[in-house]
Each structure stands twice: as structure tokens, then as C-alpha cells.
Amino acid sequence: MEFSFLSHVERPQYTDTQPAFHDCYEIVYYIKGTGYTVIDGYEFRYHPGTYALIPPYTRHEEKRLADSELVFAGFHIPDPSVVLEKGLFSDPDKSIHYIMVKMEREFTKQSPFYGRYLNILCEQIVLRCLRRQQADKDNPIQTAITYINIHFNKTVSLQALASRTGYSYHRFRHIFKEQTGLPPAEYILEKRLMCARMYLMNTSLHIAQIAQNCGFSSLSQFSKLFKARVGFSPREYRKFKEWKEVQTPALDDVL
């Protein structure tokens, strides 16, 4: 593996990056903040502890809903048989973050042989990603979960998804609930509601547009389901958030 670049940045809320691409793989690790990363036309919601993998010459951009801190690095994979899947992934054991921290330390200090060490750290990232890809292939339900995480705001045929895993629908539903804690339809609804809450809290988009962006079939369906699950209508939820911001004193006022 061949290290190419690394940067650690903080980017403010409500800012977007211009579409870009590189001649190498890029990994973007999200330390703080929430928003969306768009990779090759697919939109993923990032949050702390997730990382994006972007293959060479793949168009990507970001839309930030909150102040964000991230570290990103580029690297080349000389072996064409080694292919990393694009997308956004979680880092539950913080192993990717740990490697990124070491990369940043080496890149900053530039101790003797730091270039070789950076190549070794890049290889460690690639190996961990390959192991995750293999684990996903060995677990068809995880493949279905990943598909839903990407396409939750579009029409998802659970019957077709079950067929792709090789299970009957009832068996698929049972195993899916075992692994996520929710039946597939409930899981999709929770993803859509989470998306809606983020829009309501961090943007001024019209509520009908939020309903459409998050995959609801109509404004009335969105409003009914949101109030049933959250306890407020979308409009009340947004106003309550604004009221809390007004009522919360600034730190300077308290001191």
C-alpha cells in the first residue's frame, strides 16, 4: 500500500463541500458531527464513529448538519485484485480510529522511516476493511441491513430483499429482528424518523420536503407516524427545539 495524503479538519454546520474525486482510495473518519456524505450518487448519514470509503475516481461530497471534525487520508492499492467497497461503515471497536490516530501522529512528527510506517498503517486499514467485507458476505442479513441503511428513504421491497438473502420472508424477518432488535419494517421506519429529526433540528427545510427526503409517501403519513412515535408533531418538535435554544443561557452569561 502507498500512502498519499492526510488531513485533520473541523468544518462548520450548514456547509457543503464541492464534488471532488481523487486518483486513489480515500478514507474519511468522522470524529464529531452529523450530516451526509454522498458517494457516487448514494447518500449516507454520518455520525461520530463512522467512516467513509471512497474508491479512486469516485465523485463524492458532504452536507453538514452540525459542526464536524474529521480526519481523512488517501492511499493507493497497487494490486488491482484488491478492491474495497464504497460506502459508510461503523467502527464499533474503534480499531480504524486507532490506526488513523497513529497515522496522523506519524505524518505530523515525521520520525525516521515514517513513510514506510505510513504504508504499513494503510495496509492495516485495508486488511480490516477486507475482513469486514468478507464478514458481510458470510452474513446475508448484514448485507440486507447495509442495503436498508443506504436506501431507507426510497421504496424498499422487503419480499425482494428476503429473496436476495436466500431466506423465506418469515425466516428473514425473524433473523433480522434477532440481529437488530427490530423487524425490517420497524427498522426502516426508525431510520426514516431519525433522518426526519435531524432535518427538523438542523435545517429550515419545509416539512413536506423533509417528509419526501426521508422516504415517507405523504406529508400526512409522515405527520401521523412522527407524532405517534416521537410524541410531538413535526412542527411542534421543531418549535420545541428552537424554544430550548432560546431558554438555554450561553456559557458567558452563566459565568
The 10s digit of each residue's pLDDT in 169-179 is 999 999 999 98
- The gap from C-alpha 94 to its chain's centroid, in whole angstroms, comes to 15
3-state SS class at 9: strand
For the chain, what is the mean pLDDT?
89
- CB under 8 Å, gap of 24 or more: what pairs does 187-194 form? 187/145, 187/148, 188/148, 188/152, 188/156, 188/215, 189/225, 189/229, 191/148, 191/149, 191/152, 192/152, 192/153, 192/216, 193/225, 193/226, 193/229, 193/230, 194/45
The 10s digit of each residue's pLDDT in 165-211 is 889 999 999 999 998 889 999 999 999 998 899 889 888 889 999 99
Report whether pLDDT(241) > 70: no
For range 113-140, the mean pLDDT: 92
Q: Which residues pair with 87 in a beta bridge?
A: 53
Number of Cβ within a 10 Å radius of residue 91: 19
- C-alpha to C-alpha distance for 42 and 36, rounded to whole angstroms: 10
Q: If you ran DSSP here, which 8-state letter would residue 20 be given?
A: B
pTM for the whole structure: 0.71
User: Residue 119's pLDDT is what?
Assistant: 97
- Give ∠ CA 86-173-42 in degrees, rounded to 5: 20
What is the helix (H) or strand (E) element at residue 31, kind and residue range? Answer: strand 25-32
User: Residue 211's pLDDT is what?
Assistant: 95
The 10s digit of each residue's pLDDT in 131-176 is 988 887 788 898 898 889 888 999 999 999 999 888 999 999 999 9
- Could you give phi then psi for residue 23, rounded to 5 degrees? -90, 15
- C-alpha to C-alpha distance for 66 and 202, rounded to whole angstroms: 7
